[in-house]
Structure 1
Amino acid sequence: MSPWGWIRNVYQLRQDDILRMAGTDALVLLEFVRLMSISLFVIAVPSCLVLVPVDVTYTDPSKEASKTGTGSSQQGINHKDKLLSATIGHVDGPRLWAHVTLSYFATLVVLGCIYYSYRKIIGLRQNYFGSVEYQNSYFSRTLMLTDIAPDIVTDSALRGALESTHSSYKFCEVQLGMSMNNLPDLLAQHKQVVLHLERALDKALRKNLQYRPMAVLHKRWYHCGGVKVDAIEHYSRELETIERQIISARSDAEMTLPETFGFTSLANTSYAHAAARYFSKFKPKDFSVRLAPRPSDIIWSNLTMGYKERQKSRWFARFLLVLLFLLNTIPMLLAALVSNLQAFSTLSDFIYRWKDSISFATVTGIVPPLISFAAALLLPRIMRKIIIYRGVRTKQTRDLLLTRQYFVFLVLTQFVLFSLISVFLELALLIKSSIQKKQSADDAITDIITGVLAAVTHRFEQLSSYWMTWIVLRGYLLLFELAQIQRLLFLLINRYFLPHTPRDIWEFKKPQLFSYWMVYADLLLLSAIGLIYAPLAPIVTAFAAGVFALAYFVYKNQLYYVSVTKSETGGRLWSVVVKCLLTLLACMQIILALIVGLLQNWIKTIVCIPPILFVVAFGLYCQFKMEPQFRWYIPTSMTSDAMKKFVRQSEHQRLERQFGNPYLHQPLSRPIINAQYMQMVKQVYQGPVVSSKCTADDLAPKGPILPIYETASVKSLGMDDVDLKYDLPRTSSEEAFEMDLFPSTEDAGDTDLPNSFSDPGETKPVQWQGLSPSAPATFEKSADHGALQATNSSDSTPLSLQPRQGLAPPSSEPAKSVSISSESLLEENSEYNVIQEYAYEPSTDSLSTRSTKARGYRPLPNLPI
């Protein structure tokens, strides 16, 4: 195969291939790139063929006479910037209306392409909603309730509030969220201590235990001073203490306080979407309703925020955004200063002598784009951190806000502010001139407004060469992204110059996560430049069309071969991107109307208003006609008939298992040790470790992650079986991956596997309490559920709650009933030495109010998290 054969393979990839391998989000992004590439190409061809000759051949009659009088002295000035002759800046009279006519054409082309792509995206999104994976996912028929009134403190009260809304769709189960006190902080501390211990063990094992790393405690001013202790011993003791506190917190018998969020399940996906659509129009008084995302897509720390805390956090986030905007103006001012060096030629003899040289053109043309690109490297990461303070509850909402926010930020800083910096200087000069001439207030204001508007239009025309350089550099960055230069340098430095642990290598091997919101914002900025300059400087639009064509090829390769989607949303960002694109179309017409008013008169700007009205009308059509088809699932009659199946009476267990607080069943991290040091590590650390050769499939539980028992929930609703969907049982690995308990080695993204088609008649699985493989055990029948329970003959305490590897017993009273599948116990001599962990087993005593007795837990294998 030729070295360039991969180009043909990428080119021949079809949409079905992208959809199968990368998902709907990837296909929607490629559709947007394709939309802009076609639109700008169709606009650029007639614009360059018509407008460029019109602009280049235009000669101002008033300037023609002055040229004949001055002779050759003006020749150098006339050819100072040949690109300006291909812009609208030197055109007046009847030729100006050619630009207005092409703006009508550009508006109709973009609106037509958006309509065609919107219809296509709606079909893709409906197919996503109707897919087997989505239909069989439990979250697809679950609603998330937020901002619940303080007087609703039980599940029954929440059900009553839901039923009081007189919704046409009955709710299968309802669950009110409960707080976890300090458990999230304990798990975060545990993860950090594991990382420190892991690095200390790796340093010691690499030097055959001849070196013992030290840890510095009680550091003083600027991390100076402190006491040095043995790192392995210190972190081992700290890890045991935190694990003891976690076990105690998870076994706490005290009543947990109700939170302001909850979940409710419906019979099938179409009912859930219809109910969410109903509640989006009818706003209940005591709570807000939206479709539930994947459990792993929820930002639980923000979900538990109260109203006042959320408002305070939002104001703090706004303050950080304003501060970031002010700080980001510093590199923009520097870039604008370099690009406007010619304006200082009258103040500096050096700049006056240098301005006609090639080096001056090189510096003013290339350095400003490089400064703007360098300033934008850290901007997305900082904004991603700030957006968490907005109190967003899901990652999907976070991405929606980030797309709009980052796009507006880029347009304001890199386009508007950069373009208008010199206008502020012109404004100051106009005010000074008016004061010196002692003009009246009316005349001064009129001259200042006219001068500022003229400076704005002239500045946009002058920057056409800058934006062409910026677009070319953007194309080079796409080529660097295709070649993976940045990642190769990162891996090279970490591989040969920095220490790394097996966990680091595992992280390096994971596929890269594709940041859709960042790519959309960058492409929208490129779209803004291409569209706004279409009637002003058509060559800029042609450059932008070429970069979009290159981007389509690059992103097709990246999405198919390199990157993965973290959490599939079915192309949810599309509607936000379309709104931003329509805003750019309106801005194009406003800037053109401003130029027409300055060059002709303000009455003639009326001809630029109809395209703006077209854009507004099309935006309203998209909002009220196409947006509902995009957001909600609309099943066909055949699909509705196929969904009329039975629901087994296990909804409460399933709801609490899926959307219960993850801190109850999140496995604890364990140090990952290189496989060749597994025997040596026992000499310095007696705790549980994980081999570097361990995979997710090796450690995933084989039995049910939590048992399912019969409940009376469905019977209490008085619902007919034919109106409900059958709730298929799931294997433990499917439950674990759906709740994002175990990371997948094949896909770094969130996974939600479909239901497995097992025997529906098994409603009471046999349960086994976790035992040490060497411990003698007897089996007794459980009085509660009739399942076999294993107990240790030497101790009445369930061994799954007995500490192992030197852990002291928890102070609180452990639960009496713990269950585990016998297949999930690892062999005693296995290479994978993994501690048993605890998963939350929900109580089944009552449906209206949850019991306050001690929760039951069962051991689970662990993976590195």
Structure 2
Amino acid sequence: MKLVALFTSAGINIGVCAVLLSLYSILRKQPGNVNVYFGRRLASKRSRRTDLCLERFVPSPSWILKAWHTTEDELLAVGGLDAVVFVRIVVFSLRVFSVAAIICTCLVLPVNYYGQDREHEDLSFEPLEVFSIENVKEGSRWLWAHCLALYIITIAACALSYFEFKAITNLRLVHIIGSPPNPSHFAIVVRGIPWSPEVSYYETVRKFFSNYHESTYLSHQMIYKSGTVEKLKDDAELMYKSIKGNSFDQSCKPHLTQCFCGGPRNSFKMISNEISSIHGRTAYNDVNLDERKKECAAAFVFFKTRYAALVASRILQTSNPMLWVTDQAPEPHDIYWSNLCIPYGQLWIRKIAILVASVVFMLVFLIPVTFVQGMTQLDHLQESLPFLKGILKKKYVSQIVTGYLPSVILILFLYTVPPTMMQFSAIEGSISRSRRKKSACYKVLFFLIWNVFFVNVFTGSVISQLSIFNRITNLPEQLAKEVPAQATFFITYVLSSGWASLATELIQIFPLFWISFQRYILRCKDDSLMAPPSFPYHTETPRILLFAFLGFTCSILAPLIAPFLLVYFFLGYLVYKNQLVNVYVTKYDSGGEFWPIAHNTTVFALIFTQIVALGVFGMKRSPVASGFTIPLLILTILFHEYCRQRFLPIFKNNSAQILIDMDRRDEHDGKMEEIYDQLHAAYCQFAPPTTDPDFSSNAPSQDLEGSNRVSEISETGNPQPKR
């Protein structure tokens, strides 16, 4: 690919982004689009009427200034700790690649360009390989510049990662200590309850914990089958028994009136809610339902102190590890109810099946990736498809085909990955929505790194030389040879997938299309039926980390990628802050558990970059550069091990010291009895969790402010996280 093709791709993407950003600044001003661009204002019922004026149809950068001036405290108040951590991941990448862009542009790029004794042609028609390490001749003494750049980038990344890890760890501790009493700290989930023909699961749980946790056991609440079909069947049976029992006037008439006279759509749920008991067992016995048939082998067990719940969730309850399996309960808003009834012994089968399905999905995805790589190599494409020779000889067609279309086609195929992985994570058996999203995040990240990076590298080599895996011992050598060769594709991928994805995220194409379809095709006048979405961490976090991985891997090999990544992360900082403040509603908070994923990916990218650089230095016959790279590799591994021992346990477990101090504080303030009274209501399966402001989950309140003035949040009376 020549530099002019890269300029063509950059020009197309800059034009697309400019049009979309201008269109967004106009569409966000239209009153009819408040559902799309101000979901949080709609959630708080604070819509504002806008009069017709010319200013509504003129592009303006006001949203950029508001996003820029949004502070971390304001972001924490409206989006929770997960939102703050996500923005910190973007800022961390921005800082690292600011260093990388300066070092690679000023030091590495000139060395690459003048690496061969040759006369350079017109700069715009130079092949991109001239700007990569491929242009440096073997045995060149200037390879020390690449080794020095690798040291600087690695030291900067490790230092910034350490400080971010430390700061986010402190934020997580403040988040735990300063939040209102969290019911999940007093509750555990018990699965694998043994079946007994004499007594129900309810009695089995009560006897077990009364016997073995007598001093700390408080109460428990069974989990019932709660599928959609099961709910409809229960409601129908309740209505039938109510009518048959001649209690039509007292109990059923109001609900039937609501059902058939335009009442709430969840009238059937209201029946189930009214017959539910918040003290352990639902009141199915009152209407003669067979309760034992509806019980699952799972329950929430409540303890008198946070420390007792922590101990019970971590120790082995019996000598059989498949029975009485305990885990810390998710927050009430975070529970994924449909997975709680999955038999515990079935989970390992599900995990194996999902692993196989994920591998098959990745193998099937090789087809479009191979096709995309074929488009980047015109010579081989013309040999395979001779009828395209005449078209591909045209100058502008060849520039678009090699510089723009491959990345666009790959992006379109990649849109199917996040929803597929989210479904896989749900089938896998996660009992909380945050764990499901975190599991999907891992799957999407592995998928993207494998298919966007490794498969593109290997398929590019397959196209040019039909067998790459001649000998498995040649794998490092092949990586050292093929990664620099494919670096130009990754530059265009950053342009096409990075910049354009931010613009499409900002303009919210799919919600905008759906609202327009409802309004103009279905003739629906009420747009409020569209619930505001939650932030797709499982999609955006892997995307950010993928670009960081590409940047680390290619920065010293193809330095032109660094400035494009710098622009991407800066634009992403503004776009994501705007979306978190205006569009997305936080329904639950994992407490910043996405940062360890970012840290591990960063360390993996650094180690992989050093291995590839070691292979390249070996191929270029530079023993000095190779010798200095080995200590850097060892130090990076030691740094990762230190961070893993120092910070990672805080993200996996709550400390006994903190929980005991919180217990003593609540006992001193006389809040324990109030907390005990609210536990069952918080985990009521057939009713929404409690909304008592003094007893809530760590998730921010869903009564969120609009987006025009973030500073108004403290004036509206919305609950603020306690410091």
Alignment TM class, shorter chain as reference:
0.7 to 0.9
What is the aligned partner in structure 2 of residue 6 from structure 1?
63
Which of 55, 72, 80 matches 1:15?
72
Displacement of 1:403: 1.0
What is the aligned partner in structure 2 of residue 416 from structure 1?
454
What is the aligned partner in structure 1 of residue 111 from structure 2?
54
Distance, in Å, in 2 between the alignment partners of 1:191 and 1:501 is: 31
Q: Is the 8 A contact 1:335 1:372 kept in 2?
A: yes
Q: Is the 8 A contact 2:187 2:309 kept in 1?
A: yes
Q: Is the 8 A contact 2:201 2:297 kept in 1?
A: no
Task: Establish whether residue 464 from structure 1 lines up as the match of residue 508 from structure 2.
Answer: no
Q: 1:245 to 1:286 in 2, by over 3 A?
A: closer
Letter in 2 for 1:43: A
Q: 1:265 to 1:449 in 2, by over 3 A?
A: closer
Which of 133, 148, 157 matches 1:110?
157
Q: 1:355 to 1:277 in 2, by over 3 A?
A: farther
Q: 1:406 to 1:290 in 2, by over 3 A?
A: same
SS in 2 for 1:428: coil
Q: 1:500 to 1:468 in 2, by over 3 A?
A: same
Distance, in Å, in 2 between the alignment partners of 1:36 and 1:659 is: 39
Q: RMSD in angstroms over aligned alpha carbons? A: 4.4
Displacement of 1:42: 0.9
Q: Is the 8 A contact 1:267 1:647 kept in 2?
A: no
SS in 2 for 1:265: strand
Task: Establish whether residue 343 from structure 1 lines up as the match of residue 400 from structure 2.
Answer: no
Distance, in Å, in 2 between the alignment partners of 1:354 and 1:361 is: 9
What is the aligned partner in structure 2 of residue 254 from structure 1?
290
Distance, in Å, in 2 between the alignment partners of 1:402 and 1:101 is: 37
Which of 377, 398, 401 matches 1:363?
401
CA shift digits 1:93-152 (9 cap, x unpaired): 22223212221221111111111111110111111111243xx23223222233345579
CA shift digits 1:343-375 (9 cap, x unpaired): 345675964994583421221110001001111
Which of 528, 532, 535 matches 1:506?
528
What is the aligned partner in structure 2 of residue 681 from structure 1?
none
Q: 1:609 to 1:500 in 2, by over 3 A?
A: farther
Distance, in Å, in 1 between the alignment partners of 2:300 and 2:468 is: 62
Q: 1:653 to 1:567 in 2, by over 3 A?
A: same
Distance, in Å, in 2 between the alignment partners of 1:389 and 1:489 is: 30
Distance, in Å, in 1 between the alignment partners of 2:479 and 2:311 is: 50
SS in 2 for 1:538: coil
Q: 1:461 to 1:351 in 2, by over 3 A?
A: farther
Q: 1:418 to 1:300 in 2, by over 3 A?
A: same
Q: Count how many residue pairs are aligned between Structure 1 and Structure 2.
A: 606
Task: Establish whether residue 35 from structure 1 lines up as the match of residue 85 from structure 2.
Answer: no
Which of 428, 433, 457 matches 1:390?
428
What is the aligned partner in structure 2 of residue 582 from structure 1?
603
Distance, in Å, in 1 between the alignment partners of 2:391 and 2:673 is: 87
CA shift digits 1:634-662 (9 cap, x unpaired): 566976652333466688765444335x2
Q: Is the 8 A contact 2:434 2:590 kept in 1?
A: yes
Which of 398, 402, 413 matches 1:375?
413
What is the aligned partner in structure 2 of residue 713 from structure 1?
none
Letter in 2 for 1:379: V
SS in 1 for 2:601: helix
Q: Is the 8 A contact 2:370 2:456 kept in 1?
A: yes
Task: Establish whether residue 524 from structure 1 lines up as the match of residue 545 from structure 2.
Answer: yes
What is the aligned partner in structure 1 of residue 440 from structure 2?
402
Which of 550, 555, 576 matches 1:555?
576
Letter in 2 for 1:565: T
SS in 2 for 1:579: helix
TM-score w.r.t. the length of structure 1 is 0.62
Letter in 2 for 1:119: K
Displacement of 1:163: 8.2
Q: Is the 8 A contact 1:176 1:259 kept in 2?
A: no
Distance, in Å, in 2 between the alignment partners of 1:241 and 1:48 is: 65
Distance, in Å, in 1 between the alignment partners of 2:694 and 2:661 is: 33
Q: Is the 8 A contact 1:47 1:538 kept in 2?
A: yes
Q: Percent identity?
A: 19
CA shift digits 1:661-714 (9 cap, x unpaired): x24x57xxxxxxxxxxxxxxxxxxxxxxxxxxxxxxxxxxxxxx9xxxxxxxxx
Distance, in Å, in 2 between the alignment partners of 1:369 and 1:13 is: 33
Distance, in Å, in 2 between the alignment partners of 1:252 and 1:428 is: 71
SS in 1 for 2:667: coil
Q: Is the 8 A contact 1:126 1:630 kept in 2?
A: no
Letter in 1 for 2:517: I
Q: Is the 8 A contact 2:502 2:575 kept in 1?
A: yes
Distance, in Å, in 1 between the alignment partners of 2:399 and 2:491 is: 14
What is the aligned partner in structure 2 of residue 86 from structure 1?
131
Which of 333, 343, 350 matches 1:306?
343
What is the aligned partner in structure 2 of residue 760 from structure 1?
none
Letter in 1 for 2:556: P
Letter in 1 for 2:367: I
Task: Establish whether residue 333 from structure 1 lines up as the match of residue 357 from structure 2.
Answer: no
What is the aligned partner in structure 2 of residue 593 from structure 1?
614
Which of 172, 182, 185 matches 2:229?
185
Unpaired runs of at least 5, structure 2: 1-54, 237-258, 276-282, 707-717
Q: 1:309 to 1:277 in 2, by over 3 A?
A: closer
Letter in 2 for 1:547: Y
Unpaired runs of at least 5, structure 1: 68-73, 193-231, 432-444, 667-704, 706-731, 756-865
SS in 2 for 1:564: coil
Task: Establish whether residue 26 from structure 1 lines up as the match of residue 83 from structure 2.
Answer: yes
Distance, in Å, in 1 between the alignment partners of 2:124 and 2:394 is: 11
Distance, in Å, in 2 between the alignment partners of 1:734 and 1:559 is: 25
Task: Establish whether residue 481 from structure 1 lines up as the match of residue 505 from structure 2.
Answer: yes
Q: How does 1:847-858 map to 2 (within 5 A)?
A: none
Letter in 2 for 1:400: K
Moved more, 575-584 or 153-162: 153-162
CA shift digits 1:757-813 (9 cap, x unpaired): xxxxxxxxxxxxxxxxxxxxxxxxxxxxxxxxxxxxxxxxxxxxxxxxxxxxxxxxx
Distance, in Å, in 2 between the alignment partners of 1:113 and 1:301 is: 41
Distance, in Å, in 2 between the alignment partners of 1:622 and 1:548 is: 25
Distance, in Å, in 1 between the alignment partners of 2:235 and 2:628 is: 64
Displacement of 1:321: 2.0
SS in 1 for 2:566: helix
Q: 1:632 to 1:391 in 2, by over 3 A?
A: closer
Q: Is the 8 A contact 1:161 1:286 kept in 2?
A: no
Q: How does 1:651-662 map to 2 (within 5 A)?
A: 654-660=678-684, 662=685
Q: 1:191 to 1:157 in 2, by over 3 A?
A: closer
More helix by share: 2
Q: How does 1:622-633 map to 2 (within 5 A)?
A: 622-633=643-654
Q: 1:13 to 1:425 in 2, by over 3 A?
A: closer
Distance, in Å, in 2 between the alignment partners of 1:737 and 1:267 is: 15
Moved more, 637-646 or 607-616: 637-646
SS in 2 for 1:145: strand
Letter in 2 for 1:464: A
Q: Is the 8 A contact 1:141 1:268 kept in 2?
A: yes
- Please tell me whether Structure 1 or Structure 2 has the larger radius of gyration of its CA atoms: 1
Letter in 2 for 1:330: I
TM-score w.r.t. the length of structure 2 is 0.73
CA shift digits 1:827-865 (9 cap, x unpaired): xxxxxxxxxxxxxxxxxxxxxxxxxxxxxxxxxxxxxxx
SS in 1 for 2:560: helix
SS in 2 for 1:470: helix
Q: 1:243 to 1:345 in 2, by over 3 A?
A: closer
Letter in 1 for 2:621: Q
Q: Is the 8 A contact 1:186 1:242 kept in 2?
A: no
What is the aligned partner in structure 2 of residue 771 from structure 1?
none
Letter in 2 for 1:126: L
Letter in 1 for 2:151: Y
Displacement of 1:332: 1.4
Q: Is the 8 A contact 1:314 1:390 kept in 2?
A: yes
What is the aligned partner in structure 2 of residue 837 from structure 1?
none
